[in-house]
Amino acid sequence: MLGELTKQEIENVIQSQSVCRIGCIDGKHPYIVPISYFYDGEYIYAQSREGKKIDLMRKNPNVCIEVDMITSMNNWRCVIAIGKFEELKGEESTLAREKLFSNVLTLMTNTKIHKFQHYTGNSILENNRVKLIMFSVKISEVSGRYEK
């Protein structure tokens, strides 16, 4: 059965996950990438290094977020949120990063990174986990669908 999620079900999906996809656009083509995030009920907080995603969002702050809960091909929930990117600075950035780390890093069960990546030790190094740019997305619209 297909259906629409209620407002509370939408909140539950966003609150329960830690990875989403963020979509931005260069005026011609969409660009979609996964990010780790924390949601406080109004804003999604995330971090990034300089790159294409940040460049595009600085030029056009209108973004789309997709959050999924997938149990199987016929048992899933999907939320789409529309919002506006804002780069955070100073104390605002520090507080947002603390919230992100306290929520996302507690979900990690193994801190080893695959051998084709840069770090293979047993602990998290600050230069591997802290990215220079902290940002928020102010959510303005949400919708959700499900199949069960």
- Number of structural domains the chain divides into: 1
Query: Residue 132 has what pLDDT?
Result: 85
Q: Is the pLDDT of residue 82 over 90?
A: yes
Confidence at 131, pLDDT banded by 50, 70, 90:
low
Q: What is the pLDDT of residue 102?
A: 82
Strand residues in the chain grouped as ranges (E)? 2-4, 19-25, 30-36, 38-39, 43-48, 62-72, 75-88, 133-147
Predicted TM-score of the model (pTM): 0.81
Give the span between the Cα atoms of 30 and 24, in whole angstroms.
6
- The per-residue pLDDT for 7 is 97
Q: Helix or strand or coil: residue 97?
A: helix
CATH number reported for the structural domain that contains residue 85 in this entry:
2.30.110.10
Average pLDDT, the chain: 87
Q: Could you report the per-residue pLDDT of 23-35, keeping only the tens digit for each? A: 999 888 999 999 9
Neighbours of 65 (CB within 10 A): 22
Which of 96, 105, 35, 97 lies closest to 65 in space, CA to CA?
A: 35
Pairing of strands 75-88, 133-147: antiparallel
Percent over 70 (pLDDT), the chain: 82
Q: What percent of the chain has pLDDT over 90?
A: 74
Around Cβ 97, how many Cβ atoms within 10 Å?
Answer: 19
- Phi/psi of residue 2, nearest 5 degrees: -100, 150
Question: Domain residues for 7?
Answer: 2-147
pLDDT at 124: 47
pLDDT digits (tens, 9 = 90+) for 84-123: 999 999 999 999 988 888 877 666 545 544 444 444 444 5
Q: Calculate the dihedral angle through the C-alpha atoms of 31, 4, 19, 49, rounding to the nearest 10 degrees.
A: 30
What's the CA dihedral at 45, 146, 32, 81 to 10 degrees? -40
